[in-house]
Amino acid sequence: MPIHATAQLIGGRSHQCDATATYTYRGTRAYALLDGIGSTEEVQTWTQTAARRLARAAAYCGAPVGLRAVHAVRAAELARADWYAEYMPKAVAVVAVAAPGRDLEVAWCGDARAYQLPATTEQLSRLTTDHNRRQQLLDMDVDPGPYSRNIVTSYLGDTSPHVSIGSVTAPNSGRLLLASDGAYEPLEDAELTVANYLVGPPQRAARTLVSAAIEHGGSRADNATVLVVDLGG
């Protein structure tokens, strides 16, 4: 089985509302990372539970089907809640599924990201495209400004009729990185390369990356969470 490790730092938030989970079914392993929207004990608890549900569903059904299933359940719960849905926990998510002899599957909603570092090169590639206002404006060739990235356009439980859930396949090899925005944005803002922190064993790489994110995030640092997987190959 692939070797993996996670690391988290709370940053300047009151609660750690990111969560990771893994689940293995008949040799297929799923890796999930959720970034809860908000900073409360309720969001923290729900996000931890939802991460485990997503990893299990993806291991059984594949990344895109698993993510859509978990999203559909949460969307139904929010729809039943009517006006109170605004106050219920939500999260963006990314999930990857590695099965022997098959391509890596990745699915996501929101701005949690997946990256891949091939074993034969130091060139890190991003597998996901952000579902947020910044990306929408960039797609329209409009200057997004400094705060548009904070508005996500897709999340678990989104009740809009055309929810955005992305999916992609990639070679099942090299090093996989799942990251919350609190882990990658401070490094991007400082014009640093994420790949430079993915050195050494997964646990060391994960700790180094989130530590750098919090350091560069300063007094307004967000929760920073990563999941690093050596897929082999």
Confidence of residue 171 (pLDDT cuts 50, 70, 90): very high
Residue 123 vs residue 213, higher pLDDT = 213
Confidence of residue 232 (pLDDT cuts 50, 70, 90): confident
pLDDT digits (tens, 9 = 90+) for 71-89: 999 999 999 999 999 999 9
Distance CA 127, CA 134 (A): 17
pLDDT, position 219? 85
Q: Which long-range contacts (CB under 8 A, 24 or more apart) does 78-86 make?
A: 78/157, 78/159, 79/159, 85/157, 85/159
Confidence of residue 146 (pLDDT cuts 50, 70, 90): confident
Cα angle vertex 164, ends 195, 16, to 5°?
55
Region 93-115: what's the mean pLDDT?
97
Nearest to 109 by CA among 37, 210, 23: 37
pLDDT, position 233? 66
pTM: 0.96
Strand order in the sheet with 174-179: 3-9, 224-232, 174-179, 113-117, 125-126
Q: Which residues pair with 224 in a beta bridge?
A: 9
User: Which token pair is 141?
Assistant: 């060739």
Cβ pair 165, 158 in contact under 8 A? no
